[in-house]
């Protein structure tokens, strides 16, 4: 669905356009059909620029890409016809009604049955009762929902969501998130930039951490594993330091240590190795209270990646 090869974007800035600013540096990635890809990065990382490039709004300085089967730079109109975009700010026509706003965009996207499509999304997003009201009177959450409807009105193959829940209150953010989940269930391809790592973890099949260049990309679980490995903690009634050596002898265990009254074990495959460790601990007389896996959040992965990038540059 989306395939980029060494996409770069350099802006010329300064009064005389004398300074180069690299917003996107050799971005190569692939997003498959039906996949939800989370594009994570700090402010000013180049996420919005990437979305603008991939939706044919701005031209890359270098590189090439295929979006929805069309070549970027050559078939931009076709790309725009086949993708939907939720921009960072809803950008609705405030004096016009919700229905009029959607009708305008349905016309521009050449939707075949406009009233049907408009009514469908107004109902789906709980805006039906306010359809004739000027958008200027809408709450932030309602505007965002209307912007989502606008992005979907032409049933695009790919949906680009630029910070879909930024600035929304928790309830409105949840509504938008739930709707994205529904779109995911429908099998739509979604490319989503976000700061909200919990959101990315819940919704995205894969995430990419981006700061001018793509630092890493994988499933949230794999990223955690790659960054921190998998760790299991065994809570014991009391700990004998010698048991650490016993546990280390178990195949698949890479590290074991005692932290407070707990035995923390680093291992590759807890599902296979945990029963063996439990058996060994019981054999040596340990009294196991309970066992749990230490889960690192995507936020920890993200912070680790972004800070190591900063460190690398310094």
Partner 1 sequence: MKHVRTIIDKEWSEVFKNRMVIMTMSLLPLLFTALPLVMLSMTSGNSAMAGAPADSSGLPPGFLGACGGMNADDCMQVYLMNQFMLLFMMMPLMIPTTIAAYSIVGEKTNRSLEPLLATPISTVELLAGKCIAAVVPGVVTTYIAFGIFLAGTFFIDISPVVRAYLLGPTWIVGIAFLGPTLAVIASIFAIFVSSRVSDPRVAEQLSSLVILPLMLVFGGVLIGKLVINLWFMIIAILITLVAAVILLYFGTVVFDRENILTKWK
User: What residue ranges bind partner 1 (CB under 8 A)?
Assistant: 11, 49, 52, 55-59, 77-78, 80-81, 83, 85, 87, 89-96, 100, 104-105, 107-110, 147, 150-151
Q: In sequence order, what are the beta bridge partners of 210?
A: 214
Integer Cα distance of 200 and 193 in angstroms: 9
Nearer to partner 1, 92 or 263 (CB): 92
d(CA 277, CA 74): 59
Closest contact distance (angstroms) between CB of 80 and partner 1 is 5
The rounded distance, in Å, linking the Cα atoms of 115 and 296 is 48
Nearer to partner 1, 106 or 298 (CB): 106
The span from the CA of 28 to the CA of 54, in Å, is 12
Tell me, rounded to whole angstroms, the distance of Cα 148 from its chain centroid: 17
| Distance of closest approach, residue 183 Cβ to partner 1, in angstroms | 18
Tell me whether residue 107 or residue 139 sits nearer to partner 1 (CB atom): 107
Q: How far is CA 51 from CA 18, 47, 73, 124, 163, in A?
A: 25, 6, 14, 26, 11
Q: Which is nearer to partner 1, 54 or 306 (CB)?
A: 54
253-259: strand order across its sheet: 253-259, 262-267, 230-236, 288-294
Nearer of residues 148 and 232 to partner 1, judged by Cβ: 148
Least distance from C-beta 261 to partner 1, angstroms? 56
What is the smallest separation between the CB atom of 90 and partner 1, expressed in angstroms?
A: 7
Q: Minimum CB separation from partner 1 for residue 292, in Å?
A: 46
Q: Which is nearer to partner 1, 89 or 139 (CB)?
A: 89
Residue 105 CB burial class (10 angstroms; 0-12, 13-18, ≥19): buried
Q: Beta strand pairing status for 262-267 and 230-236?
A: antiparallel
Q: How far is the CB of 151 from partner 1 (least distance, A)?
A: 8
């Amino acid at each position: 669905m989306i395939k980029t090869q060494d996409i770069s974007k350099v802006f010329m800035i300064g009064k005389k356009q004398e300074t180069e600013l690299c917003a996107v540096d050799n971005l190569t990635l692939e997003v498959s059909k039906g996949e939800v890809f989370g594009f994570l990065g700090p402010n000013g990382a180049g996420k919005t620029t990437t979305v603008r490039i991939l939706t044919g709004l701005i031209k890359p300085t270098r590189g090439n890409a295929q979006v929805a089967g069309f070549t970027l730079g050559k078939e931009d109109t076709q790309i725009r016809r086949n993708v939907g975009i939720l921009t960072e700010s809803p950008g609705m026509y405030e004096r016009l009604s919700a229905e009029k706003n959607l009708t305008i965009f349905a016309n521009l996207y050449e939707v075949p049955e406009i009233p049907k499509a408009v009514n469908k999304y107004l109902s789906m997003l709980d805006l039906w009762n306010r359809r004739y009201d000027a958008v200027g009177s809408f709450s932030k959450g309602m505007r965002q929902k209307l912007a989502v409807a606008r992005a979907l009105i032409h049933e695009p193959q790919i949906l680009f969501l630029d910070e879909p829940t930024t600035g929304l209150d928790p309830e409105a953010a949840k509504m938008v998130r739930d709707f994205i989940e529904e779109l995911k269930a429908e099998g739509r391809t979604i490319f989503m930039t976000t700061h909200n790592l919990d959101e990315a973890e819940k919704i995205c099949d894969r995430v990419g951490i981006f700061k001018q260049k793509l630092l890493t990309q994988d499933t949230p679980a794999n990223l955690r594993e790659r960054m921190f490995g998998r760790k299991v903690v065994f809570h014991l009634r009391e700990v004998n330091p010698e048991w650490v050596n016993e546990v280390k002898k178990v195949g698949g265990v890479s590290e074991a240590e005692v932290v407070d009254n707990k035995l923390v074990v680093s291992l590759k495959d807890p599902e296979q190795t945990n029963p063996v460790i439990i058996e060994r601990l019981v054999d040596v007389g340990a009294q196991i209270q309970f066992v749990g896996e230490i889960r690192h959040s995507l936020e920890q992965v993200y912070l680790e990646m972004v800070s190591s990038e900063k460190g690398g540059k310094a």
